[in-house]
Every structure is written in structure tokens, then in C-alpha cells.
Structure 1
Amino acid sequence: MATIVMERIGRVFISLQQIREVPRMLTESLESPSMPGTVRDTEVPYYFRERYVCTGYRPLNQNWRYYFLSLFQRHNETINIWTHLLAFLVFPVKLCQLAETVDFVSDPHSWPLLVLILSSLTYSAFSVAAHLLGGKSELCHYIFFFLDYVGVAQYQYGSAIVHFYYAVDESMHKHVHGIFMPAATVLSCLSCLGCCYGKYCNHTLPTWVRKVCQVVPSALAYAWDSSPVAKRLMSWSSASNDPAIIYHFGQVAFFLSCAFFFTYPLLERCFPGRCDFLGQSHQMFHVFLSCCTLCQIHASHLDYVGRRKLYSRLHRSGEAARFVGLYVVTLVACALIVAFMLRKVKQLLDFKTKSK
């Protein structure tokens, strides 16, 4: 008996020793020759550079292990990766919390809320992949950031569906009920196309033109998708009795903040070279977008609970399923846009290779 006990204690001790070795093994892997250090902006191609970010770029054409392990390395994409990775980990927790009181399987009225959470998971996951793996090569850069734009487009649709289904009032619903969600699908696809085209034209267009290609379609989509919320926020008389109104205010404020930081690199421009690791405007964009999404999910859940009598009357039987179907259509259309743009990218890269 004593021998058996000692053997088990020995196994536990060995396991603890192995666990204690994990940090050292991880550190060694990060410092090994297969994990080269970062480089300056002059050492990477032009289309990989961010304005006013001078150092912290990862070298191109390393093995996949290097880019995956760079999750734990200090470089100018580290914070961009972790801000949306943490959001990606929070969203399933929020889904599990809601699933305790919301029947996402049997209640069709809950499906718009489920689409919003799934689209939030998708955009955050695609964003992590883009910032983590998009630096491997020029082709990978296009592939992963095009996926990122698919995530943005389907999140825009997810926002539209909860706003139209839960937040719309009766007077607005009467005028737009037949066109709101189809228009949201078209605008999401245009947003995906504009972002992909802006990225594709990295070589030929000035930065401000690329930003216009990316910002204008997304701004139109946001204005349309959020119009039910905007109309509701202007109804000050009912705001005091509406528990969701403060979260709708929050999501609008956070979105306008992240739109500003996405469009204008304020911090890098004021402190060039000092925001290479921490303080980039795109990092602020990620943080505000995650906060916007959390406010949006909470507001939509409160609307789902508190406005059930209204939206049950406004939306006919089967309408929720039809909107979910449009979500699938949006994903397929965006995938086709990405396939088309990747074909153009490959033609461009082949031409560059032949011209060398």
C-alpha cells in the first residue's frame, strides 16, 4: 500500500515539474532562431506598412509556426490581436449566459439575437486571423484581410436584423418592412466589396482614396442598419421608461468613437514612432468596437424581453426564418466577392512575378 501511494505521489511530482517547465519551454521557443526579431518599416513592402508606425514589423515568408507563436511576441500587431481575441472569448460566455433564459432553438423570435452573437464571434475571429497571420506573405495578407471584411459585412447584417426586429417602432416598420432587410443585405455586400477593393488597390491609390472605398460603403450600411435605433433615441418622451435606451446610446457612442479612430490615426500622427507597440488608433478602434458590440447585445436582449408584444405583432410568422436565410445569402455573396477579388489579386501577383 505504501509503495502504491509513493508511486502516485511521484507521478504528481513529475506532472508538477512538467507544468513548471512550460513557461521556460515557451520562452525558449520564442527566443529560438526560428523566431526572428521584428524589423523596421523600410524592411517590409509598402503595402504592409501602417502610417506613422516605424518599427515592430514581423519579417515575411517565415514558417507558420513563427506567426502562430508571435501571438506571445511583442510586435506592432500584438495589441490588435489580443483586443479582438479577448472579445472572441467573451462572446461565447455571453451566449451561454443568455441561453439560460432564452430558448434559441424553439423560439424563432430569438433567432435575430442569435445571429448577432454568431456574427460577433465571426468578425472577431476573422480579425484575429488577419492580424496574426496576414503578415506571412502578400497573398496571405490579401486572403486573411478579405476574410476580415467578410466578418465586418456579416456583422453589419447581424446589427441590421436585431435593430429592425426588436428596436423598430410601428410607424417606421409600416414604411420599410418590405425593403429593410434586403437593402441591409445589399449594403453589407457593397461594404465587403469596397473594403476588398480598397485593399486590392494598395499599390496604385493614395491612402485617402483607399479609406474612402472602405469607409463610405460601411458608413452607408451603418446609417441604414441603425436607423431604427436612431429614430428611437430621438423619442425622448419614452426614454425614461426604456431600460435598453442607455445601452443603445452606448453602442452609438462607441461606434462613432471607433469610426473616428479607424478613419484618422490621431495618436500615431501626434506621436510618430512612439505608438509602434501600444497606442495605435486601430487598437482603439478594436476596443471601442468590442464595447459597441457588447452594448448592442445587451440592448437587443432587453428589447427581446421587454418589447415582445410589439415585435410579435409587427413581424409575421416565418419572418425570422426568412431573415436568417438572408444572413446565409449575405455570407455566400460576400464569399463570391472575395473569390472574385482574390482572382484579381493572383493575376496582379503573377504579373509582378513575370515582370521581375
Structure 2
Amino acid sequence: MPRVSFAPPSLCLTFLPLLERLLPSLPPTVRDVDVPPLFREQFILSGYRPVDLSWRCYVLSLFQIHNETLSVWSHLLAAVYVLVRFLMFAVQQGGGILGVGLQGPEGQGFSVDVSSLPLVLYVFSAVTYLSCSAAVHLLHSEQTHHSLFFLEHVGVAVYQYGCALALCLYSSDTGWTQSMLGQIFLPVVAVVVWLSCIICCYADLHFHRPYLWHRRICQVVPMGVAYLLVISPVTHRLASHNWTNTSTLPLHFLQVALFLLSAVFFSCPVPECFSPGRYDIIGHSRQLFHILLSICTLVQQEALFEDFLWRRQALVREFGEERLLLACASFLGLTLCCVMTALVMKRRTHVQLLQEGR
């Protein structure tokens, strides 16, 4: 009777060491006392990843259970959904809303659909901020702490201006557009959003844990002011129109309500403050903030899709093609300013760490 060998093939033995090097085993999570104060969150006692891991370990921790898992996955899945939903919407509308379309009976040459460019930039800004946030909480190492948070602030600023651009052009009514605020809206938003990015980066650079109330104020106040300004076209419609006449206003109201609720969890360590250690893995305020913010973005996207279909035909006639192109160009200018701000802050961080001998 022939023998049956259960030994692994020599090819497997050759590739196993390589696979172990490429996919290192992940160390177990540790308690708050085992990580530097830089990584500790108030009332979160366990579920921390050890510091000084390789970048591969941090990437693979996407599939590990720790106190950042839900925060990362909520924004990662939301970013994928935003992009896929937009592509499906573009296909449903014949593919002509991607900003660029074929021109001529034989499909030769390209033409720019100016009316859809703000929607494309909005989707880009949403995917950018969700991806940046997911990267910050996934790759949060001691060496890249400040750089990643600067990147997150850039993503938030880009998203805020992307929202302002889309809401101003698609979701505003005639009364708001002709008002003083409507006439200077985009330049004012650009300045406020940029200042918000600068202040948040400054707070991360100069306030260290345990964080004082100064840092929280430096984050909440600028972002709150920027949000109230960005959402003003919608709040004007909510206050002056009958909600039963359109399906978008309930969506806009839901988006505002979700954002305000997420702001509560961002500002207050609830519910973990009532039972430290109980909500370390599931249910603490940072997770609730990220989940609510992700849902908020998805709701806003659906509302903007409907507003886009409502305003698309008359958009170029009301605003003019040159003004729309200038507005879209301002998005790129704001993005460049925020990126340069983050790079300057990163350089200052490097100088500060050298002075501290770290």
C-alpha cells in the first residue's frame, strides 16, 4: 500500500518565512498605563495598540479589535460608499455629470460640464476627509502623530469648502443668493475655513496631553463657526420654505441634526465618563462621533444629488459659466493654502522636537 505524505510542499516552506515577514503577527492590545500620555484618551482604559510598531502592523491592525477599530472602519466604509454611490448616480444620469464629457457626433474631443463640477469637487472633498480621518486613526504612531493630525485638519477644511461650494450653488434659494451674505459667501468661507485649519494645527502643535480646555476651545470654536457659515444656505431654506414641497429639506434637517449630535460626542466624553473602562472597545464618544459624522455625510450627499437635479438646468444661466469656473478654481486654491499650512506646521514640529531633544 503506498504511503501518503502529509508534509508541506517545499514551495510552501520557501514562501512561509517570506509571508511571515510581509504579514507580521500583531501584538495584543495594552492598557492606558502601557502607552505614552500622547495616546491616552480620557476614561478609555484598555484596547490601545503598543507604540513603535512597524507601518505594516498598523495597517494590519485594521483587522484587529482595538479601541480605534470602529472609528477607522466607519470612515473607511463611508468613503467607499460615497464614491460608489456617486458613480452609480452618474451612470443613472447618462454619465454626463462627471465634469467632462465627449463632444461631437463621433465622440471626438471633450467638453466640460461646468454645472456638475461643484458636485464632483464635493464628492472629492468628502472622500478626502473620510480617507484622511481613517488614515489618522489607523496609522497613529508616535513618529507621525502631528503630521497625521495636520493631514486630518487639511481634509476637514477641504470638505468644509467643498460643502460650501455645493450648497451655495445647488441648495440655496433666490432670497439667500441675492442677500449680502450670498454675494460674498465663498470668499468669506475660504478665509474662515483656512483660519480654522491654521488654528487647529496650532492647537495640536502647542497643546500636549493631558489636554487642557484651551485645545478643545481651539478646535470646537473655529470648526463650529465655519460649519454655521457653510450651512447657512440650507438653514435659510429650512426657515423660509415649506418642507412638504420638496424631499430635500427633511434630508438637510436630518444632516444638521446628526452633525449637532456628533458635535456633542466630540466635545463631551459620554458615555465613558460614567463608567470608565466599560466602553473601551465599543460605544465610547469618539466612535459615536465618527459614526454619526459618516452617516451625516451620506445623508448630505443624497440631499445634494436631489438639489443638483433641481438646479442643474438653470445653474449656468443664473451664475454664468465664468463665475462657476472661478468658484471651482477657488476650491483648488483653498486646498493648496491648507496643504502649505500643514507643511509649515510640520516643519515647525520638527524644529520643536529637535529643541526638546526628542
TM range (shorter): 0.7 to 0.9
1:282 equivalent in alignment to 2:286: yes
Query: Which is worse superposed, 75-84 or 174-183?
Result: 174-183
The aligned counterpart of 1:7 is none
Q: For residues 317 and 227 of structure 1, what CA distance do their matches in structure 2 show?
A: 24
What are the Cα deviations for residues 233-274 of structure 1, in whole angstroms up to 9, with x where unaligned? 0024x3211121111111111111111111111111122111
Which residue of 157, 160, 180 corresponds with 1:156? 160
Q: For residues 201 and 193 of structure 2, what CA distance do their matches in structure 1 show?
A: 12
Which residue of 216, 219, 223 corresponds with 2:224? 219
1:202 equivalent in alignment to 2:212: no
The aligned counterpart of 1:170 is 174
Contact map agreement 1:83 1:287 (CA 8 A) in 2: yes
Q: For residues 60 and 205 of structure 1, what CA distance do their matches in structure 2 show?
A: 18
1:103, distance to aligned residue in structure 2 (A) = 2.1
Q: For residues 92 and 109 of structure 1, what CA distance do their matches in structure 2 show?
A: 19
1:205, distance to aligned residue in structure 2 (A) = 7.8
1:309, distance to aligned residue in structure 2 (A) = 5.3
1:58 equivalent in alignment to 2:46: no
1:171, distance to aligned residue in structure 2 (A) = 2.1
1:85 equivalent in alignment to 2:81: no
The aligned counterpart of 2:137 is 131
Q: For residues 209 and 137 of structure 2, what CA distance do their matches in structure 1 show?
A: 23
Structure 1 runs not aligned, ≥5 long:
1-17
1:327 equivalent in alignment to 2:318: no
Alpha-carbon spacing, 1:133–1:327, altered in 2? closer, same or farther (3 Å) = same
Q: For residues 349 and 275 of structure 1, what CA distance do their matches in structure 2 show?
A: 34
Contact map agreement 1:113 1:297 (CA 8 A) in 2: no
1:177, distance to aligned residue in structure 2 (A) = 4.1
Q: For residues 207 and 81 of structure 1, what CA distance do their matches in structure 2 show?
A: 26
Which residue of 281, 298, 301 corresponds with 1:294? 298
Which residue of 343, 346, 351 corresponds with 1:342? 346
Q: For residues 130 and 211 of structure 2, what CA distance do their matches in structure 1 show?
A: 28
The aligned counterpart of 2:32 is 41
SS of 1:272's partner is coil
Q: For residues 61 and 47 of structure 2, what CA distance do their matches in structure 1 show?
A: 12
**Which one-letter code corresponds to 1:317 in the other structure?**
E
SS of 2:356's partner is helix
Contact map agreement 2:37 2:210 (CA 8 A) in 1: no
Richer in helix (by share): 1
The aligned counterpart of 2:105 is none
Contact map agreement 2:316 2:324 (CA 8 A) in 1: no
What are the Cα deviations for residues 314-353 of structure 1, in whole angstroms up to 9, with x where unaligned? 3122222111111111111111111121122112211222
Q: For residues 98 and 37 of structure 1, what CA distance do their matches in structure 2 show?
A: 43
* Count of residues in correspondence between the two structures: 325
Contact map agreement 1:40 1:57 (CA 8 A) in 2: yes
Contact map agreement 1:198 1:213 (CA 8 A) in 2: yes
1:157, distance to aligned residue in structure 2 (A) = 0.4
What are the Cα deviations for residues 256-307 of structure 1, in whole angstroms up to 9, with x where unaligned? 1111111111111122111111111111111111111111111111111123
Q: If the length of structure 2 is used for normalisation, what is the TM-score? A: 0.86
Contact map agreement 1:47 1:202 (CA 8 A) in 2: no
The aligned counterpart of 1:103 is 97
Which residue of 243, 259, 282 corresponds with 2:263? 259
1:119, distance to aligned residue in structure 2 (A) = 0.5
1:144 equivalent in alignment to 2:138: no
Q: For residues 315 and 251 of structure 2, what CA distance do their matches in structure 1 show?
A: 19
**Which one-letter code corresponds to 1:306 in the other structure?**
W
Q: For residues 127 and 313 of structure 2, what CA distance do their matches in structure 1 show?
A: 29
Which residue of 124, 127, 132 corresponds with 1:121? 127
1:143, distance to aligned residue in structure 2 (A) = 0.9
SS of 1:76's partner is coil
RMSD in angstroms over aligned alpha carbons? Answer: 2.1
1:204, distance to aligned residue in structure 2 (A) = 7.3
SS of 1:307's partner is helix
Q: For residues 316 and 248 of structure 2, what CA distance do their matches in structure 1 show?
A: 18
Alpha-carbon spacing, 1:186–1:205, altered in 2? closer, same or farther (3 Å) = farther
Query: Which is worse superposed, 94-103 or 308-317?
Result: 308-317
1:239 equivalent in alignment to 2:268: no
The aligned counterpart of 1:307 is 311
Contact map agreement 1:194 1:214 (CA 8 A) in 2: yes
1:120, distance to aligned residue in structure 2 (A) = 0.7
Q: For residues 203 and 239 of structure 1, what CA distance do their matches in structure 2 show?
A: 46
**Which one-letter code corresponds to 1:326 in the other structure?**
S
**Which one-letter code corresponds to 1:142 in the other structure?**
H
1:108, distance to aligned residue in structure 2 (A) = 0.9
Alpha-carbon spacing, 1:71–1:206, altered in 2? closer, same or farther (3 Å) = closer
Which residue of 40, 51, 63 corresponds with 1:72? 63
